[in-house]
Amino acid sequence: AQSVSQHNHHVILSEAASLELGCNYSYGGTVNLFWYVQYPGQHLQLLLKYFSGDPLVKGIKGFEAEFIKSKFSFNLRKPSVQWSDTAEYFCAATSRGSGNTGKLIFGQGTTLQVKP
Amino acid sequence: DVKVTQSSRYLVKRTGEKVFLECVQDMDHENMFWYRQDPGLGLRLIYFSYDVKMKEKGDIPEGYSVSREKKERFSLILESASTNQTSMYLCASSAPTGTRSEQYFGPGTRLTVT
* DSSP code per residue over B28-80: --SEEEEEEEETTTEEEEEEEEEETTEEEE-S--TTEEEEEEETTEEEEEESS
Contact B58 A102 (CB under 8 A): no
Optimal mutation site among A3, A4, A34, A43, interface B, most CBs of chain B within 10 A: A43
pLDDT over 70 (residue A101)? no
DSSP E strand boundaries for chain A: 3-6, 10-14, 19-21, 23-26, 31-38, 44-50, 56-58, 64-68, 73-78, 87-95, 105-106, 110-115
pLDDT of residue B99: 63
Min CA distance, A107 vs chain B (Å)?
A: 6
CA contacts within 13 A on the Cβ side of A31: 25
A31-38 and A87-95: which strand pairing?
Answer: antiparallel
pLDDT over 60 (residue A92)? yes
Instruction: Say which DSSP state A86 is in.
Output: -
Min CA distance, A82 vs chain B (Å)?
A: 24
> CA A11 to CA A9: how far, in whole Å?
7
pLDDT over 90 (residue A100)? no
Q: What confidence tier does A27 reach under pLDDT thresholds 50, 70, 90? A: confident
Residue A7 gets the label, from left (phi > 0), alpha (psi -120 to 50) or beta, of alpha
pLDDT of residue A48: 95
> CA B44 to CA B17: how far, in whole Å?
23
pLDDT of residue A58: 96
Answer for the pair A37, A114: CB distance below 8 angstroms, yes or no.
no
Average pLDDT on A43-58 reads: 93
Contact B40 A109 (CB under 8 A): yes
Q: What confidence tier does A19 reach under pLDDT thresholds 50, 70, 90? A: very high
> CA A77 to CA B62: how far, in whole Å?
37
The per-residue pLDDT of chain A, averaged, comes to 91
pLDDT of residue A99: 53
Average pLDDT by consecutive 10-residue portion of chain B (114 residues)? 88 97 94 94 93 92 97 97 97 79 91 98
Q: Judged by CB atoms within 8 Å, which residues 71-90 of A form the interface with B?
A: 90
pLDDT of residue B97: 65
DSSP per-residue codes, B76-109: EEESS--GGG-EEEEEEEESPTTSS---EE---E
pLDDT over 60 (residue A98)? no
Contact A104 B103 (CB under 8 A): yes
Contact B56 A102 (CB under 8 A): no
Residue A49 neighbours by CB under 8 Å, 6+ apart: A32, A33, A34, A35, A57, A59, B102
What is the C-alpha R_g of chain A?
A: 14
pLDDT over 90 (residue A10)? yes
Phi, psi of A61, rounded to the nearest 5 degrees: 60, 30
B16 — contact with chain A (CB < 8 Å)? no
Q: What confidence tier does A13 reach under pLDDT thresholds 50, 70, 90? A: very high
Please tell me which of the candidates B31, B35, B107 has its beta carbon nearest to residue A102: B31
Please tell me which of the candidates A46, A51, A106 has its beta carbon nearest to residue B42: A106
pLDDT of residue A95: 80
pLDDT of residue A84: 96
Name every chain B residue with its beta carbon within 8 A of the beta carbon of A92: 43
Average pLDDT on A5-33 reads: 92
B85 — contact with chain A (CB < 8 Å)? no
